[in-house]
Amino acid sequence: MKYDVVIIGGGLGGLECGYMLAKKGLSVCIVEKNARTGGCLQNFTRNGHIFDTGFHYVGGLAEGQPLNKIFSALGLLDLPWKQLDTDCFDEVIFNGERYRFANGYDNFTETLLHDCEKNGHTINAKAQSGLKEYANLLKEIGETTFDRLNKKSLEHLAAESYFSKPIYQYLKETIYNELLIGILGGTSLKMELEEKTLPLYTFSQINSSFVQSAWRLRGGGEQIATTLAAKIEGMGGKVLTRLEVTRIVEKDGKAEAVEIGAGEYIEGKAFISNLHPALTLSLINRENSSIKNIFRRRICNLENTFGMFTVNLALKAGRVPYLNRNIFINKNTDTVWNKNGERENFENRSLMVSFQVPENEAVHTDNIDILMPMYWNEVSKWEGTKLFRRGEEYEDFKAKTAEICIRRVEEYLPDLKGTIEGTFTSTPLTYRDYTGTINGSAYGIRKDYSRAMLTVLSPTTPLQNLFLTGQNLNLHGILGVSMTALMTSAIVEGSF
């Protein structure tokens, strides 16, 4: 059968595009290599405990906010969402000092200034004014999200001043206070904080959505994927799993079909790849292709963000109180921003602690996730190995790293170790093998304000009917991927 749209990869972006285009009446087929759709939305079960992989919380889901508008159109608002505490959705810790991130732009600034004073830090009038100016910037960017989307062109977005300015420089010139700049970066595991490259827009759009409102999903993020897949099939679309696309067949400057096995093909009029752009290009033969080597080199030479080391803890029942907020543990304000390519040792890296929402409004949680940045060169010696067959040295490396993370978290959650029933770990290698992400990158291609036109990618490609979507194009995260899926879908729909 020949479909209107064939989508390679059943991650969030691919599923959202599939839903939007199927709802427009187009015949859609999604091809996913894994047993389940969702990519980093997938859950896994160990010892009866359900864990998330890459999904932990979302921002901007309250009525009238950007993600609410998108998820309303996708039919995802009926899932069991749980709003985090409005007076403290994120708790940032520096050497024992605690700072609260609160919802609402005015409340956000007032709460941070209150906590600075409580911790014995005097913030002068100039820095206070700068913090309020930054909050106004977050508000302006948050409120104009859809104005930018309506341009339907990432090239236009990349040309905006917000993309072509570095956030770190902006904060220094606006706030004039190193403590506040460190605190604002204290929730750094939402993104990679590269002082020399991170655009103002990336930092501000993501943080703005969480200042609007912050939410977890009881039961895990895979519900988003299964809901979208079921809706697509309910509209007559196909969601095929355990099928890996091995080649994109090109003819006369257009994609004609995808090969899923020796002599097996799925034909389409238009194709969307939710894979990393470099992986997408690897599926297209170099010989007699309309994709020139200069384009291939440009895409394949782009740098990717760091990966993640994750410790999933299964806890004894009734022992650890559920906290309706995230905790971010930082050594000090100097270690938050990656300056001059410095990489702190595991003892000093930032950690994120996320609590699983308990069932039936129970007061204790059964699961905690600890996340820590990890770089590819720290696991690259095992890159030729396969899942569950990486050897004793690798398992020892994971166990020792997990022990460091647990010990550091235990400073703020006393007696945590005594409540642990099971410990499960993953590295960038794990993410690479399960999701196909290059080097297990957590946030995809690194955006660079000084090369915005090169690092912010368009959904279009040199093949007339091959399009891209996913976290590598514009913004990462649930909101960023959803915004890009809207843009990709609009372009594909317009091609018919």
CA–CA distance, 393 with 195 (Å, rounded to integer): 34
Q: Using the 8-state DSSP alphabet, how is residue 304 labeled?
A: B
Radius of gyration of the chain (CA): 22
Name the strand (E) or helix (H) holding 428. helix 428-435
Query: Residue written as tokens 């990966």?
Result: 307
pLDDT at 303: 93
Copy the structure tokens of residue 102. Answer: 């609160």
* Residue 370, helix vs strand vs coil: strand
Contact 172, 181 (CB under 8 A): yes
Strand order in the sheet with 58-59: 58-59, 214-217, 81-83
4: three-class secondary structure by DSSP: strand
Residue identified by tokens 């009525």 is 63
**pTM of the predicted model, to two decimals?**
0.94
Domain boundaries, the chain: 2-81+219-302+444-494
- Which tokens sit at 153? 């062109």
Tens-binned pLDDT, residue by residue, of the chain (496 aa): 799 999 999 999 999 999 999 999 999 999 999 999 988 888 888 888 888 888 999 999 999 999 999 999 999 999 999 999 999 999 999 988 999 999 999 999 999 999 999 999 999 999 999 999 999 999 998 888 776 655 545 555 555 667 788 999 999 999 999 999 999 999 978 999 988 899 999 999 999 999 999 999 999 999 999 999 999 999 999 999 999 999 999 998 899 999 998 789 999 999 999 999 999 999 998 877 889 899 999 999 999 999 999 999 999 999 999 999 999 999 877 778 875 555 778 988 999 999 999 988 889 999 999 999 999 999 999 999 988 899 999 999 999 999 999 999 999 999 899 999 999 999 999 999 888 889 999 999 999 998 888 888 999 999 999 999 999 998 889 999 999 999 999 999 998 8
Cβ neighbours, 10 Å, residue 121: 15
What DSSP string describes 62-117?
STTSHHHHHHHHHT-TTS-EEEPPTT-SEEEEETTEEEEE-SSHHHHHHHHHHHHH
Q: List Cβ neighbours of 31 (8 Å cut-off, separation of 6 or more).
A: 6, 7, 8, 9, 10, 240, 243, 244, 245, 258, 260, 266
pLDDT at 120: 95
Nearest to 459 by CA among 411, 491, 417: 491
Where helices occur in 144-217 by DSSP H, the ranges are 145-149, 154-159, 167-175, 178-184, 200-212
| φ/ψ of residue 371, rounded to 5 | -120, 140
- CB count within 10 Å of CB 365 equals 20
Secondary structure element (H or E) that encloses residue 330, with its range: strand 326-330
324 Cβ contact list (under 8 Å, min separation 6):
82, 84, 85, 355
320-321/58-59 β-pairing = unpaired
Q: Which two tokens stand for residue 457?
A: 């990618």
CA neighbor of 165 nearest in space, from 189, 131, 141, 182: 141
- Coil, helix or strand at residue 3: strand
The answer to whether 202 and 357 are in contact (CB under 8 A) is no
Phi, psi angles (nearest 5°) of residue 156: -65, -40
Does the domain at 2-81+219-302+444-494 match CATH 3.50.50.60? Answer given as yes
Q: Are 271 and 466 in contact (CB under 8 A)?
A: yes
- Whole-number pLDDT of residue 152: 46
pLDDT value of residue 272: 98
Residues 88-112, buried b or exposed e (16+ Cβ, 10 A)?
Answer: bbbbbbbeebebbbbbbbebbbbbb
Residue 165 CB coordination number (10 Å): 18
